[in-house]
Structures are given as structure tokens and as C-alpha cells.
Amino acid sequence: MKTIDSVLSEKTMFPPSGTFVEQAHLDQEGLRSLREEASADPDGFWLKQAQQLVWRTPPTQALDQSQHPFVRWFADGQLNITESCLDRHLTTHRRNKAALIWEGEPGDQRVITYFELHREVCRAAAALLRLGIKTGDRVIIYMPMVPELVFAVLACARIGATHSVIFGGFSAEAIRDRINDAGAIAVLTADGGYRRGKVVPLKHNVDEALKHCPGIRHVVVVSRTGQDITMHPGRDHFWNDLVKAESGHCEPAIVSAEHPLFILYTSGTTGKPKGVVHSTGGYATQVAFSTKYVFDLRDEDTYFCTADVGWVTGHSYIVYGPLIHGASVVMYEGAPDAPHKGRFWEIIDKWGVTIFYTAPTAIRAFMRWGDQFPRAYRLNTLRLLGTVGEPINPAAWIWYHEQIGRGRCPIVDTWWQTETGGMMVSPLPGATVAKPGSCTQPLPGIAVEVVHKDGTRCGPNEGGYLVVTRPWPGQLRTVWGDPDRYSKTYFGDIKVGGRPVYFTGDRARFDEDGYLWVMGRVDDVLNVAGHRIGTAEVESALVSHPHVAEAAVVGRPDELKGQAIVAFVTLRSGHSQTPETAALLKDQVVREIGAIARPDDIRFTDALPKTRSGKIMRRLLREIATTGKAVGDVTTLEDIAVLQRLSASDSDEE
């Protein structure tokens, strides 16, 4: 019997093309020497990377871990991050270069140059100052994906106010909890936003939330949809009224590198969201470093990341990373299927996008919709593809490579978390030979290991706990208002060499070539007859069947085996949910992995429960598989109706 730890290796390897390698920042030789430099002198390495930023007082020290697990980076350095993102470009040819290329869902568009972005940010920052918002205050941003969202984020950074962006899909209750947890004094929002042709009542949601938020003194409202809203005199102001009074000048607040740039609540896949706190200098160093090397970013690139600024991916790789490098960033307001399922591909052709970054959940949706949508477009400007958010099933990787990259573009499968601030494990596109489904190797300067519970290192292909053994610049500094939760959640479990190390919450293995495979969340991993089976691997075996669009696998208590495997499966359009198909799928898993992983139950469903960032919420499926209904925290669930349908279909069977 094959054990799970040695299975599911998509055999094909994908080296970058000669043409890509020739122009890349890093080829194999370059990567080797960067790794050597980083391991010989990590502090010196990161101090050098920090020079990618504009500092008012350059740091002389890198890591300070005297208060571990509370760490500091570049602590004697001083800066304002917006000088790296904006001011520095104004004296170069980028002054008149497009910084933001924005498309609204209804088809409107705006192109904003670096000069204009700087001016808008300064006007907004000056307006916030005039309202009495100061360095260190917390400001909530709850907006649709419009340029003012980027202005708002950078305006807060300009004055040293700590921003906390709440994804525009969240409800009034979620806003209320985050405002109160962060102790915010102002909310920057919009009247509404467009989503699949419908209007989301953002201002109304804020009004509901604020019934229970005594600390909020100001609400600033961008007019996006023009819908009717109620303005509360004294508290509420229109964005345009405030900024039109301001000039395009606002002195940046110079802060210490350790100043909290933002608080961001995690997406809630595993439980109640945590207010992750990020620093300024360390965070910016890590995103600048990773943006440059992982995206192989060049001045002439046009870069499109489909994340929402409400998630960490949007913070690091729509706003801060690309702007630090003076890139042209494409930003799209709406849904990928609005008004048609080729919208992303249309945007890529229209603007000549060269780098495209999205999530596995989106890629699986594109696959489900069918190849005819991307095929209708040229996509010939693309040179690099990326993914983040979940393990990418090898079948989805191959589809992405063929249908979107047309076999020409390397794919960077980037593993990282809200807590890590920036990418941690990823291919370097000009140097790494990719294996579909593996995020490959830690970036230079990043110390990632897979260990047993007792901290000893796992052997090749042995599954274990994914940990980071050395602090990194983009590391979260604490959980807002709850340093204890920070220590316990991330440093309470695993010691390596007697010292607590950062535990990611993920289970993973390194293969015989030192490539990392993330197997799923530790809480999700199955234990079947004494074998630890990664959810990601069984799901990938299912998704490799041509009828399957998406699968989520969970365990249900079983007297004999410990856990029985229940697979929730969504089929591609045109395939029927029959017992024959279920039998075929069980065979598929046995063939790909072995009899030990054969699902006991296949349940067909038209959709899976997901967080609002698109990740599958297996903990809810586990409850449904076990008790018939989900009772855990559902505040971050995207579509509550999916759960009701799933629970209902269960009771039908019984």
C-alpha cells in the first residue's frame, strides 16, 4: 500500500524558457549567489534589500529579537512609505507614467499617472489631517475597488495613521466588530459599489455598524454609484467636498520603521479573524524584495492582480509592492464574469497586461466555465502568471499554463499568509524549474522547515508542521490588542532546538528535491487508520478527473478507521451527478493515491462554502459531514445559502 506522503507527484517539470531566462532579474546562477549571500549574513542581506526603499534615516541594524517572539526590524530607521511609492517617482520618467489603470465593472475607466496619484494622495491626506486625524490613529477603509481606495490607503500612510481595510463584501456586523476591535476613529467609505451589476449598499452597512461604534468621529464618503444615502450632519462628509479644498501638497509624517502601518483581519478560514499588525519598514522591505524578484518586475511591465485591496494580497501586491517599483498597475472593480465570462481576458488584451496574479479558486471557476472564454482572446502580451491563496491542484496549474499562459509563461505559485506580509515560498521565474502543485522553495533569506511536533526535522516526503525558524522582515508584530493571542497562536506549539518558532498552521512536506508541497491546514488533515492524509492531495486527485471542477475533502468520525473520508464535489458543466460518476471518482482517488485514501462518501453539490476571499471552508463541511449542519462561526462565509443547501441535501439522504 502506498502511503500518502509519497503520492501525487505530477511528473512533468517546467523549466522557464530561454527567452524568459535571458531577460530575468535572476537566473539560476544569480539565485544561487543570492541564497548564499542571505545565508552567510542574513542581517546584511536584509539591510541591503531595505535599500530599495526611500529612508529619511537609513537603518543600521536589521533584526532585533531580544524580546522574541516580539521582534523588531530596522528599528533605528525612519521613513514614510509613501515617499517610496510616490515622491521618488516624480523626479524620474515615471512622473507621467500610468500608476493605476482602472476599470469599473460597468465599463468606465480611469488612468492615473504617478504625478496624479501623488496629488490625490496628498489632498486626501491633508483632508484627514484637517479632520483631526493624527499619526497613530486607526482609520477603517470600507470601499469598492475604486481608485479612491488606493488614495485612502496611501493617505493614511502619508499621515502615519494605521489603516485597516475591510473587504467591501462584509456585513454591518463584521464592520462593527473590526471597528471596535481596532479602536478606530474614522471610516472612509463610498455610497455603494458595483458587484455583478448589482449595487452593494456600503454606506448603509456603515450606518448600521456605527449604531454600536461610539469611537467613530468621522465618516468620509466617496460618490461611486450616486444612490440615495443618509448623511449624518457633523459626522459624515463627502470625499469630494473635503479634498477639493486641499492643495496637492502634504508633508509626509516621518515614522519609525516599527510604526504600525496597518491592521488586517485574517480571512477566517479556520476561525475567528485576528487583527494582524504589520510594521512599516520591515513590511515594505519584504514586499519590495518579493515584488522585484518573484514577479521579475520591469519598468515596462503592465501588472494585473485580481485580488481585492481588502485582502493582504491587495495591500502587498496591488498597492505597496508594485508602487514602490513604479509599476503600472491594472485594477478592476468587479466580478470576473461581469458582464461576461471573458472579462479578465478582455482586460489583459485591452491594456497589454504582461504579469497576471490570481487565485486557485478563480482558476477553477475559469475551468468550470470552459475554454472557449480565454480562447477568444490573444493573451499574447502575458509573460508571467502567478497564484496565491490555496494549494493549486496540479490539474488547475496545467490548465492555467496551457489556456492562459499558452505554454509560454512561467507560473509562480506563491505561498504566504496575512501574517507573513509578503511571499515566503515561491519559484523565482527565471531560475526555478516548476513542478505543478508545489510552491517550490523558500525565497532567499526565508527559513522555512517542516518538522514533527517535537521540533525534529521531517525527512523527504514526510508530512509535518510547516514552521518559519528565523524571524523575517514582513512578520506580523502582534495581534492587535491581544499580544497573548499572538504568542499563543503562533509561538505556543512548536520548539526547534529548544526555541519557540513561528507555526504557520499548515501541514506540508519537502520532496526529494527539496520542493515544498502544502498539504492543507493542520486542522483539516485527515487521520485514516493511522495514516495522515492531506486534504489537498485527495482533492487534487479528484480534480484531475475531467468531470470535476472543484472538490473539498473532510473527515467524519469513524469507529473503525478513526476518520472516514467525505468528498464534496462540484462537477464541470454538462456532467451529471450519478452513482456511476461517484464510483468513477472513488476509483480515480485509489489510482492516484491508493486504497487508503478512497472516499467513503462522495456528495455532489453545485457550490462549496467559501470565505469571501474565495477559500474553501472545510471546517463547516466537517460539521455538515458529522452532524448534518454547520454551527461554527460563519461571519466570513461568502454565501450562507450554500450551507443551507448542503445541510438540506444531507437530510434528504438520511
Question: Distance between CA 20 and CA 407 in Å, rounded?
Answer: 12
Farthest CA pair distance, the chain:
73
Piece in contact with ligand ATP (CB under 6 A), picked from 197-205, 322-330, 370-378, 385-393: 385-393
Smallest distance from ligand ATP to CB 504, Å: 5
Q: What phi and psi values does residue 14 have, to the nearest 5 degrees?
A: -125, 95
Among positions 191, 207, 333, 413, the unique one binding ligand ATP when judged by CB under 6 A: 413
In the range 521-540, which residues lie near ligand ATP by CB under 6 A? 521
Kindly write out the interface string for residues 439-468 of this chain, putting x where it contacts ligand ATP by CB under 6 A and - elsewhere.
Answer: x-----------------------------
Among the listed residues 12, 37, 54, 514, the one whose alpha carbon sits nearest the alpha carbon of residue 293: 37
Residue number with CB closer to ligand ATP (80 or 504): 504
Contact with ligand ATP (CB under 6 A) among 49, 164, 290, 417 = 417
Piece of the chain touching ligand ATP by CB under 6 A; list 198-206, 413-421, 472-480, 576-584: 413-421
**Distance, CA of 55 to chain centre:** 27
| Per-residue contact flags (x/-) with ligand ATP for residues 262 to 281, judged by CB under 6 A | ----xxxxx--x--------
SS3 605: coil
Cβ distance to ligand ATP smaller for residue 113 or 432: 432
23 grid coordinates: 531577460
* Residues 585-614 interacting with ligand ATP (rule: CB under 6 A): 613
The grid coordinates listed for 44 are 546584511
- For the chain, how big is the Rg over CA atoms in Å? 24
Dihedral (Cα; 79, 80, 85, 91), 10-degree rounding: -80
Instruction: Give the integer Cα–Cα distance in Å for 385 and 382.
Output: 8
Grid cell digits, residue 290 = 518579493
DSSP collapsed to 3 states, 355-409: EEEECHHHHHHHHHHCCHHHHCCCCCCCCEEEECCCCCCHHHHHHHHHHHCCCCC
Of 69-77, 166-174, 346-354, 382-390, the segment contacting ligand ATP by CB under 6 A is 382-390
- Measured from the CB of residue 545, what is the shortest distance to ligand ATP in angstroms? 21
**Least CB distance from residue 439 to ligand ATP, whole Å?**
5
Nearer to ligand ATP, 389 or 609 (CB): 389
CB of 298 to ligand ATP, least distance (A): 23
Q: Segment near ligand ATP (CB under 6 A), from 30-38, 142-150, 177-185, 504-512?
A: 504-512
Cell of 591: 489510482
Shortest distance, position 192 Cβ to ligand ATP, whole Å: 26
Judged by CB under 6 A, the residue of 252, 314, 386, 391 near ligand ATP is 391
Number of H helices, E strands in the chain: 22, 32
Q: Smaller CB distance to ligand ATP: residue 388 or 528? A: 388
Q: Output the smallest distance, CB 413 to ligand ATP, in A.
A: 5
414 near ligand ATP (CB under 6 A): yes
CB of 363 to ligand ATP, least distance (A): 12
- From the list 39-47, 144-152, 196-204, 407-415, the region that binds ligand ATP by CB under 6 A is 407-415
User: Total residues contacting ligand ATP (rule CB under 6 A)?
Assistant: 23
Query: Letter for the amino acid at 354?
Result: T
Let me know: does 161 contact 134? Beta carbons within 8 Å. yes
Three cell numbers, residue 400 = 492555467
The 3-state secondary structure of 20-68, one letter per residue: HHHHCCCCHHHHHHHHHHHHHCHHHHHHHHHCCCCCCECCCCCEEEEEC
Give me the least distance between CB of 328 and ligand ATP, in Å please. Answer: 25
For position 438 contacting ligand ATP by CB under 6 A, the verdict is no
Lookup: cell for 35 = 541564497
Rounded to a whole number of angstroms, the minimum distance from the CB of residue 268 to ligand ATP is 4
Closest separation between CB of residue 352 and ligand ATP, Å? 27
379: left (phi > 0), else alpha (psi -120 to 50), else beta?
left
**Residue 365, C-beta contacts closer than 8 angstroms, at least 6 positions apart:** 336, 337, 549
Asked if 266 and 633 touch (Cβ cutoff 8 Å), the reply is no
* Ranges of H-type helices in 427-578: 483-491, 535-543
Binding to ligand ATP by residue 621, rule CB under 6 A? no
Tell me how far, at minimum, the Cβ of 384 lies from ligand ATP, in Å: 15
Q: Which residues bind ligand ATP (CB under 6 A)?
A: 266-270, 273, 388-391, 413-415, 417-418, 439, 504-506, 518, 521, 613, 615
